[in-house]
Chains A and B, each alone.
Chain A
Amino acid sequence: MKTYEQINERIASGKAVVLTADEIMDYVDKKGLHAAAEEVDVVTTATFGPMCSSGCFLNFGHSKPRIRMSEAWIEDVLVYTGVAAVDVYLGCTQNRHGDPANMYPPGEFRYGGGHVIEDLVAGKTLQLFALSYGTDCYPLREIRTYFTINDLNQAIMVNPRNCYQNYNVAINRSDRTIYTYMGKLEPRQKNGNYCSAGQLSPLLNDPYYETIGIGTRVWLAGAQGHVYAEGTQHAGGVARTPEGMPLTGAGTLALTGDMKQMRREFVRGVSFIGYGVSLSLGIGIPIPILNEEILRRTCVRDRDILAPVVDYGSEYPQNTGKIICHVSYEQLRTGRIEVEGKQVEVGSLSSYYKALEVANLLADEIRRGDFLLAAPIAPLKRDTKMKPLLVREPPR
């Protein structure tokens, strides 16, 4: 048994024993659970993939004369201005103004909110254009200027939902090619796509949220951020395997961090043909080895994790909730799964290679004493379910 304080002392003195979630299984197999739990202080987990519920608050500072922006665009991408005068929220799935979207399907969606966020982090000069109705205190009606992230007072990433605990494997059983946020899916289940770091993924290494909670310090694209709330659609109360692996999406995290500290290679705008734009993020979360049970759970392997296979040709868009079957990440990693007797070639939208890089970078930061752990100030809920949106008659 260890405490957060003891682990942080060891980190601060540069003596912490840190392994990645990719290394820990073999280590525990070799040393035994009891001895390994005594020895290991932290296991680092990570993920890298598209996370649509991401964005950032920016503060521009005040112009002379002042403006209360009522509509604004960065590089022609609309930002939300329904907050204070020169604060805006830039969402990663916002299309660029004038993008024909799916007018002539499938659209290309070459540039949007996610790309603006990447360009900001990369230090590029971007255009701001804003309009206002004008007030006595904010008389300016229009502004066009150019800025970099260094000109901003704050650039704070605020992501309502990241790190989905588990995710669907998308296939298409219809008879036409479809374009989805899970990629291009050929008809008659010719191919499929999945999206999780599996055995390296944060919430699969802490399935019951024993260490990851509100207040946990995380590695968000290179910045030291934290979990500020449960993620939207967090549903800790879903069905699980006896080992606690959720059989559907389950837990999510709301994360925040200072974009000025982020690294461009872990903040990437993405374009999904026929669907839209998004943002891929690299996220690392340390798990403190407080006891043997927590260590045992970090030893989860791809073969223990089951992903639901869902038909995006009809069941997903119609929200029927139907799951065709479950397949393990071990099967998914072979590039081929079997769905009701038929072989389906599968690819990943989440990058295990990049996730490993993040897990190792975080492990190095902890070993150097540069990244201390923060104990949660509140746990994530384990018993909640996800509610649907009901279409109701107007109230009388």
Chain B
Amino acid sequence: MREPIVINNLSKYYNKFLALDNLCLKVAQNENVGILGPNGAGKSTTLKILCGLIRSSSGAAYIDGINVADRPERALSRIGAIVETPEFYPFLTPEETLSYLGRLRGMRGDGLKRRIKEVIDLVKLEEWITVKIEKFSRGMKQRLAVAQALLHDPPILILDEPGLGLDPRGVVEFREIIEGVGKEKTVLFASHQLIEVAQICNQVAIIDHGRLLAYDNIDELEKKYQSLEHAYLELTGGSLE
């Protein structure tokens, strides 16, 4: 069976800075994989290439066997994504924003309205559905970002630090949401939070300087390095002190 996400010898230069260095990664169907790495390791760059936001310098990224660089629209139709800390049009309401994004993906009518209500309920923004987003806090926007990623019920989720800006309760709720929907989806999830990754994902890819340092089951990494924290620090050259 073809893996939903395949990253093949991906390299990316920002001028002379090498952000990704021949990165290879395959994510199997319904696997939840966390990408861990220090700042500047290449996590966001990898996810942005998968989302068609930037182009790789060499190598290729595939979504369901579709080369993202060659046919971005077809590849993007299969994913729901949160990249960095996204912003929304301040003059629109969550209902209008989700309606806009849903219609761009071919959703319409009662089906779209029903789905908007479902995802708004899921992220607990019911009371804010007709309020302009200009009045929203960072955490509320992040909840809306989760809602738009799930709106079209995509088989693949690509999430870049999706818990950023959420209050502690929001973080817990977010983890529960992703844990729930992640059972039936392929999830690639970049984060700095080891606890978050350990809770949501069953596999972890640790990268640094654009290179893949380890890619294994969390249990295996814990056996080998005592804990996920030890594995992360040892592989990325940090210390436990």
Q: Do A and B come from one complex?
A: no
